[in-house]
Amino acid sequence: MKPQSMGQAVLIGLALIYLASLYFMSSPVWMGFTINALIVAVVALAWNITGGFGGMASFGHAAMYGTGAYASAILQVQYGINPWIAFGAGIVAGAAMGAFIGALAFRYGLKGSYFALVTLAFAEVLRICASSFAITGGGSGLQLRLEPGLSTLQFNDRSVVYTILLVIVALVMALTAWLKYSRFGAYLIAVRENEDAARALGIDTYRIKVKAMAISGAFAGLAGVLYLQVWLFIDSAVVYGSAISIEALIGPIIGGAGTVWGPLIGTLGLHLLGEGAKHLLHNAPGLNFVLYAVVLICALRFLPQGLMGLAARIGTFRKKEDDNA
Amino acid sequence: MLEVRNLSKSFGGLKAVSDASLDVPEGGIVGLLGPNGAGKTTCFTMIAGFTRPNEGTVRFMGQDVTGLPPHRICALGMIRTFQIVQPFAGLTVQENIAVGAYLHHHDRTEAMAVARQVGKRLGMGAMLDRPASSLTIAGRKRLELARALATGAKLLLLDEVMAGLIPSEVSEIVGIIRQIRDEGHTFLMIEHVMQAVMSLAETAYVLNHGKMIAHGTPKELVQDPAVVEAYLGHGAAARLQEGHHA
């Protein structure tokens, strides 16, 4: 988690200063905006596990995000289950959905764009299902009853919500850092770099990949539940729509896939950019996605390792031999 | 240590390997030779579990391992390397070796310590912190060996570790392989570089068109007419003989 260069330290510092400044700005608009960005950052961190470390670029993280949100909402609205238990159930449901998609896709050896397409298909199928059945509230979605309190996990005070989200993002990042430097992380990176070599070295690559999907699914499910608890309303387009799948992958790619800080920095940067453009161009709807596309193309062309990779080359702390890695 | 019996594999109508048998005694260095396309690598992939043979059995240390997945076979102590070396580019040399060491050492500190030790044994001490992508071909071949050794494997299947090396690098690797053998490991190696085979292998098998055509010491093999013909074409042995007599 430690920065490796002056550039990375500055980048991380800027993100932290922005996040801390919200406590002093007392602007509900910026607070709401950043709360949204932090929820997206959790999905981005989820995508980073499979897409960043494992090299399995999913185009359908909405499948796990939405499943987490719907599982929690159904339990609370339809069955009156305690929100804390529903919260946990949402995470488990996200993990289960991730493991299920992974088990199916990897059983048939899907990779690269084929894997991306299958995940997208899963998210779309789930979106259509969620808008068709009564238990998911059909086209009108599900609404939690407004009942602020610790027992219902609903908070009126936006700065409390914000603080909780900051803590959760920090926890997910700490888990990511721990995973990165564990045996599982090393195996996941080995699978990304060369699956055959990994198999030869005694790695059960199928199991590693499904496990990665389950962990990623748990994080995405967590993000879905957070969205539900913050905004108290979900419908199929919001939580299963492809917008969230795109945001899940674009943040890590811009920020630096396979790094601990990249997904958060990329997501914050993109959201600020999108918001700025909206103000400049008078709220033209969908314009932020046009902008994201331009940034994504530029990042893929000029920043293969994202902002963290770029920053790593500025003022390196450790003296290294001249190599072009 | 390794007994391969009547191994066969066809791809469509093509018989890549048919009825191949070989034995590798514990502590030995056994060569597997043959011209291009003879089926050597296919043989390796079947022994190491990457492809399932149509017929035949592979027994490792008395246990039938035919058709087991590679990771299970590796856990038992048999590992293959690849002809085209592929380091994990995003990792350092030490982290690369540690991926092998993680097989039996689940803790990072332990795995990294094993990796450091194995790396030093193979003369890679100075390169441990370098990104694996910065290694030369010779360095990558060493890394491939180091990774395999770090898994704690007893039997190493080497697929052309000498290919693409200059003679001085070949003699270095030959020295390293001897040293590893003396530490108690066994080798089965596919090799084209005859200098290496002649100086390393105690016995060797020759494959041609998927069939085992000869078995013996390297000295015997180079004089075997069937082997000479496999490499130089039909009638070559007779012509060479004439040349000698003239």
Instruction: Choose the weakest-confidence range: A101-105, A291-295, B25-29, B42-46.
Output: A291-295
Q: Does A258 touch chain B (CB under 8 A)?
A: yes
Instruction: Choose the weakest-confidence range: A124-133, A158-167, A276-285, B25-34.
Output: A276-285
CA distances in angstroms from B124 to A109, B87, B98, B132, listed in the order given = 35, 14, 14, 11
Q: Both tokens of residue A312? A: 């790593």
B130 band by pLDDT with thresholds 50, 70 and 90? very high
pLDDT at B244: 66
**Number of structural domains, chain B?**
1
Q: Does A322 touch chain B (CB under 8 A)?
A: no
| Cα three-residue angle A168-A193-A91, rounded to 5 degrees | 25
pLDDT at A26 over 90: no
pLDDT at A301: 87
CATH number at residue A25: 1.10.3470
Q: Give the one of B48, B81, B102 whose C-beta lies nearest to A183's C-beta.
A: B102
Q: Where are the alpha helices (DSSP H) in B82-187?
A: 93-101, 108-121, 137-150, 167-182
In chain B, the residue whose alpha carbon lies closest to the alpha carbon of A191 is: B88
- Full domain range(s) for residue B76: 2-245
Give the best residue of A195, A201, A321 to mutate against chain B (max B CB count within 10 A).
A201
In chain B, the residue whose alpha carbon lies closest to the alpha carbon of A53 is: B90
**Contact residues, chain B, for A197 at CB < 8 Å:** 82, 86, 88, 147
B239 band by pLDDT with thresholds 50, 70 and 90? confident
Taking an 8 Å cut-off on Cβ atoms, the answer to whether A182 and B108 are in contact is yes
The DSSP element (H or E) to which A233 belongs, if any, is strand A233-234
pLDDT at B60: 94
pLDDT at A321: 42
pLDDT at A202 over 90: yes
Residue with tokens 């491939």: B144
Q: Both tokens of residue B93? A: 């040399």
Of A287 and A228, which is predicted with more confidence? Answer: A228
Mean pLDDT to the nearest integer, A295-311: 87
In chain B, the residue whose alpha carbon lies closest to the alpha carbon of A318 is: B129
Answer whether B71's CB lies under 8 Å from A199's CB: yes
Taking an 8 Å cut-off on Cβ atoms, the answer to whether B102 and A181 are in contact is no
Say how many C-beta atoms besides its own lie within 10 A of residue A125's C-beta. 13
Of A297 and A26, which is predicted with more confidence? Answer: A297
- What is the distance between the alpha carbons of residues B112 and A266, in angstroms, rounded to a whole number? 31
pLDDT at A323 over 60: no
pLDDT at B112: 95
Within a domain: A164: yes
Q: Does A104 touch chain B (CB under 8 A)?
A: no
- Taking only the tens place, the pLDDT of each residue in B93-110 is 999 999 999 999 999 999
pLDDT at A319 over 60: no
Of B104 and B13, which is predicted with more confidence? Answer: B104
Q: Where are the alpha helices (DSSP H) in chain A?
A: 6-25, 28-47, 62-79, 83-107, 112-130, 158-180, 183-193, 195-200, 205-231, 236-240, 242-255, 262-280, 287-302, 306-312
B229 band by pLDDT with thresholds 50, 70 and 90? confident
Buried b or exposed e, range A6-17, using 16+ CB within 10 angstroms: ebbbebbeebee
**Number of structural domains, chain A?**
1
Taking an 8 Å cut-off on Cβ atoms, the answer to whether A199 and B134 are in contact is no
B245 band by pLDDT with thresholds 50, 70 and 90? low
CATH number at residue B133: 3.40.50.300
pLDDT at B226: 85
pLDDT at A94 over 90: yes
- What is the distance between the alpha carbons of residues A87 and A153, in angstroms, rounded to a whole number? 9
Within a domain: A229: yes
pLDDT at B56: 93
pLDDT at A324 over 70: no
Instruction: Choose the weakest-confidence range: A35-49, B206-220, B231-245.
Output: B231-245
**Contact residues, chain B, for A203 at CB < 8 Å:** 71, 99
Length of chain A: 325
pLDDT at B198 over 60: yes
pLDDT at A322: 40
Strand order in the sheet with B186-190: B78-80, B155-159, B186-190, B29-33, B203-208, B211-216
